[in-house]
Structures are given as structure tokens and as C-alpha cells.
Amino acid sequence: MVQVVPSSYLVPPTLAKGFKAVPGLGTKGYVVPEMGGWTAGAVDGEVGIAVSVSGKNAKEDAAVALLQETIRRREP
């Protein structure tokens, strides 16, 4: 799943178990295990972007890669 919201709506879940800040992944970049999968998010300019991957093969690096690709595709 991919979500794009106003940047003020994106609040990194810093108190969640397994939360990791991801430097270089936009502003406030993070990844966190969530609901049997992984969620990655970051602020990119005026928007906050969060992506989630789930299922038995979901991995942290897949969530980060999906977020990086989403940010890349949004660039003009």
C-alpha cells in the first residue's frame, strides 16, 4: 500500500518496537515492523509518503525499496 498525505500528517512512530530512523530517506525517514509486515515513511517536500508491505515474504528492505521508488517516481 502507498499513502501520500500532507507532510504535517506524517508522524513517525518513534515509540514503536523495532522503529529505525533511516538517514538519507527523505526527511524523517523511518522503517518499522507493523501488523505482520513493514512500513516505511518519509517527508518528501510538501508531502508525507508511507508504504507498507505485508505477507510472509515481507521484509524491511522491501519496504525501504518501495518507498525509495515511490519518491523517485514522484520527481518531475
The letter for the amino acid at 8 is: S
How high is the pLDDT of residue 10?
Answer: 96
Taking 80 as the threshold, does the pLDDT of residue 72 lie above it?
yes
Q: What is the pTM of this model?
A: 0.91
The three cell numbers of residue 48 are 508525507
What is the distance between the alpha carbons of residues 54 and 68, in angstroms, rounded to a whole number? 17
How high is the pLDDT of residue 74?
Answer: 85
Give tens-digit pLDDT for 22-69.
998 989 999 999 989 999 999 999 999 999 999 988 999 999 999 999
How high is the pLDDT of residue 26?
Answer: 85
